[in-house]
């Protein structure tokens, strides 16, 4: 059974702090990983892809640990505007030519940045 697990939180973090949360997956054949952000009562939007070597986009760093089967998201110098739910997405293949088998969203981690 495919599973993607996230700590639902909420994570209450003071403004300016660094926060990190993980997403574990059970399918070792998983190939593509993403973090999406969803604001309250809005649709999810892509935050960043997760590459094998890890990647950074401003204050955000995403990492992949294949051995332990998890991805992580690190947010530095957190802002009030970072308050949102962060969803991880795991896809088992390079996903070309159609097919959604195994495409799985985590249930999300709720982050609240406090002033």
The answer to whether residue 73 forms part of the interface with other proteins (CB under 8 A) is: no
Specify the residue, 70 or 86, whose C-beta has the smaller distance to other proteins.
86
Spacing of C-alpha 79 from chain mean position = 18
For other proteins, the binding residue among 40, 58, 96, 115 (CB under 8 A) is: 96
The reply to whether 107 sits near other proteins by the rule CB under 8 A is yes
Q: Is 66 in the site for other proteins (CB under 8 A)?
A: no
**Which residues lie across from 72 on neighbouring strands?**
22, 63
CA distance 32 to 75: 21
**Applying CB under 8 A, does 42 fall inside the site for other proteins?**
yes
Q: How far is CA 61 from CA 17, 18, 26, 34, 51, in A?
A: 14, 11, 22, 12, 11
Query: Which residue's CB is nearer to other proteins, number 76 or number 102?
Result: 102
């Amino acid at each position: 059974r495919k599973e993607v697990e996230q700590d639902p939180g909420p994570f209450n973090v003071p403004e300016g702090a660094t926060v990190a949360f993980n997403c574990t997956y059970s399918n070792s054949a998983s190939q593509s990983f993403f973090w999406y952000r969803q604001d309250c009562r809005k649709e999810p939007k892509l935050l960043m892809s997760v590459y094998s070597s890890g990647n950074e986009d401003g204050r955000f760093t995403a990492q992949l640990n294949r051995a332990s089967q998890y991805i992580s998201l690190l947010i530095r110098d957190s802002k009030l505007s970072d308050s949102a739910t962060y969803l991880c997405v795991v896809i088992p293949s390079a996903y070309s030519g159609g097919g959604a088998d195994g495409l799985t969203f985590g249930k999300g981690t709720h982050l609240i940045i406090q002033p």
